[in-house]
């Protein structure tokens, strides 16, 4: 088969593959056929973000051996994608980063013909994702949740003493009147500029994804006042909250709910709760995507199709308290998880919640510089 013929054939198969003229030849020239691809799949995902048996079940069903590694924040994944040759076939960028990754040609178009289970996805969510990924050509939603405040109820009540809980849960991590009391039982923040700065901007009444450096500076000034009260920064806060190192976290609702379940399993008696701030949490959507230089793109499509089976998506939600965009999986979500208002937000909370928005490279740099200053106490 000539290269040109292969290219035409690929264009016919993958709707989006040839949309961008400069990318198609390179992708076509290096695309192995399904038969030629070795039975290996390299996945790079966030920690605590996959159902226990999912990899083993996929390996059994497909005969493809999965190598599974984790990254701690969008910045770390971005650096790997920019450097290229990461070796990964599937990565899971947040929507805030994915738009610019698609625009920079870092991700490979999906071969939708190999993913019939795409029909299980919720059209309403896909319409939203279309703003990040026009034509839904590159991303398949993995899971979503929101960034918020999580607490160990008894410890917080004790540390606050006579002070009542604030009306707005964000006060617990951003208002010195509260943080000065809560530092005794431990305040923990996520460790990433793009996880901490948007909630901080939102708290001071700015746009959470503002591109304005003056806004970033103002958020930094607010953060500086609580810096001395923050005990630790980490992207894996589950054990800190469940194990008692922290009584308050700025974290992801899904992980806070995992900490809640872990405390129950460990019979620690700790009652952990993901709060719903009165001004809203910050929604995030993480998505399966294939790096442009992936060596096993067909195996990646097979994994994506496997994940989109209703029972496989439902297992992720049931085990990890993260909803997926798989509409066909909802019937298999357990009532306990399905009725948890910090897993599936009700209409009022959804309306209040801030939607993710893309950040320009310049903005990310500015946010990183303010965040680094905050963390270093400068
Ligand atoms: C980790 C979940 C990561 C969600 N358990 C943040 N994008």
Average pLDDT over residues 252-273: 95
Confidence of residue 24 (pLDDT cuts 50, 70, 90): very low
Report residue 25's pLDDT band, with 50, 70 and 90 as the boundaries.
very low
Closest ligand 1 atom to Cα of 235: 1
- Mutate-to-test residue for ligand 1 from 45, 68, 70, 145, highest number of ligand atoms within 8 A of CB: 145
Does the pLDDT value for residue 349 go beyond 90?
Answer: yes
Within 8 A by CB and 6+ apart from 174, the residues are 199, 200, 203, 222, 223, 226
Q: For residue 35, what pLDDT band results from cuts at 50, 70 and 90?
A: low
Cα–Cα–Cα angle for 121, 355, 370, rounded to 5 degrees = 130
More confident residue, 13 or 163: 163
Fold matches, 7-145+285-344 and 146-283+358-375: yes
- What tens digit of pLDDT does each residue of 60-88 get? 999 999 999 999 999 999 999 999 999 99
User: Ligand 1 mean position to 74 CA, how many Å?
Assistant: 10
Pick 146-283+358-375's CATH classification: 1.10.3300.10, 3.40.1180.10, 2.130.10.10, 3.40.190.10. 3.40.190.10
Q: Which ligand 1 atom is at minimum distance from the Cα of 143?
A: 4
Q: Do 200 and 209 meet the contact criterion of CB atoms below 8 Å apart?
A: no
Q: Is the per-residue pLDDT at 22 higher than 90? A: no
> Which helix or strand (DSSP H or E) is residue 97 part of?
helix 95-103
How far is the centre of ligand 1, averaged over its atoms, from the C-alpha of 143 (Å)? 9
Instruction: Give, as one character, the DSSP assignment of residue 110.
Output: P
Q: Which residues line ligand 1 (CB under 6 A)?
A: 46-49, 94, 252, 254-255, 284, 286
CA of 23 to the centre of ligand 1 (A): 30
pLDDT of residue 219 exceeding 60, the answer is: yes
Mean pLDDT of 89-99: 97
pLDDT at 202 over 80: yes
Say which CATH superfamily domain 7-145+285-344 falls into. Answer: Periplasmic binding protein-like II (3.40.190.10)
CA angle 266, 270, 273 (to 5 degrees): 115
DSSP-assigned letters across all residues of 266-329: TT----EEE---TT--EEEEEEEBEETT-S-HHHHHHHHHHHTSHHHHHHHHHHH----SBGGG
pLDDT in tens, 266-303: 998 899 999 999 999 999 999 999 999 999 999 999 99
Q: Is the pLDDT of residue 57 over 80?
A: yes
Minimum CA distance residue for ligand 1 atom 3:
46
Give the pLDDT score at 36: 76
Cβ-based neighbour number of residue 268 at 10 Å:
14
Atom of ligand 1 nearest to the CA of 255: 5
Domain boundaries, the chain: 7-145+285-344, 146-283+358-375
Q: Measured in angstroms, how far is the CA atom of residue 192 from the centroid of ligand 1?
A: 12
């Amino acid at each position: 088969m000539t290269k040109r013929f292969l290219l035409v054939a690929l264009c016919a198969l993958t709707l989006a593959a040839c949309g961008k003229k400069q990318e198609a030849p390179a992708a076509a020239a290096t695309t192995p056929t399904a038969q030629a691809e070795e039975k290996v799949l390299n996945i790079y995902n966030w920690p605590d973000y996959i159902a226990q048996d999912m990899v083993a079940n996929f390996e059994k069903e497909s005969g493809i051996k999965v190598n599974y590694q984790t990254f701690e924040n969008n910045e770390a994944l971005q650096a790997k994608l920019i450097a290229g040759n990461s070796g990964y076939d599937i990565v899971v960028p947040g929507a805030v980063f994915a738009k610019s990754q698609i625009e920079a040609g870092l991700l490979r178009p999906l071969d939708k013909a190999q993913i019939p289970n795409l029909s299980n996805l919720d059209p309403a969510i896909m319409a939203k994702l279309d703003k990040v990924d026009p034509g839904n050509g590159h991303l398949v939603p993995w899971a979503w949740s929101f960034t918020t405040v999580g607490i160990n109820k008894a410890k917080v009540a004790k540390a606050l003493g006579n002070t009542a809980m604030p009306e707005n849960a964000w006060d617990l991590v951003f208002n010195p009147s509260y943080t000065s009391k809560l530092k005794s039982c431990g305040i923990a923040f996520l460790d990433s500029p793009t996880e901490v700065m948007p909630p901080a901007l939102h708290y001071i009444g700015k746009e959470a994804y503002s591109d304005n450096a003056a806004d970033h500076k103002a958020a930094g000034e607010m953060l500086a006042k609580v810096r001395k009260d923050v005990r630790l920064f980490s992207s894996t806060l589950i054990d800190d909250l469940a194990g008692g190192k922290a009584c308050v976290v700025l974290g992801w609702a899904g992980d806070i709910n995992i900490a809640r379940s872990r405390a129950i399993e460990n019979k620690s008696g700790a009652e952990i709760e993901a709060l719903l701030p009165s001004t809203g949490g910050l929604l995030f959507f993480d998505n399966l995507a294939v790096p442009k230089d992936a060596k096993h793109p067909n195996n990646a499509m097979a994994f994506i199709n496997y994940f989109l089976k209703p029972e496989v998506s439902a297992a992720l939600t049931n085990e990890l308290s993260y909803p997926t965009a798989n509409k066909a999986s909802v019937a298999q979500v357990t009532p306990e998880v399905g009725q948890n208002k910090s897993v599936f937000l009700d209409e009022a909370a959804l309306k209040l919640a801030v939607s993710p928005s893309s950040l320009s490279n310049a903005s990310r740099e500015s946010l990183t510089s303010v965040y680094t200053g905050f963390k270093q106490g400068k």
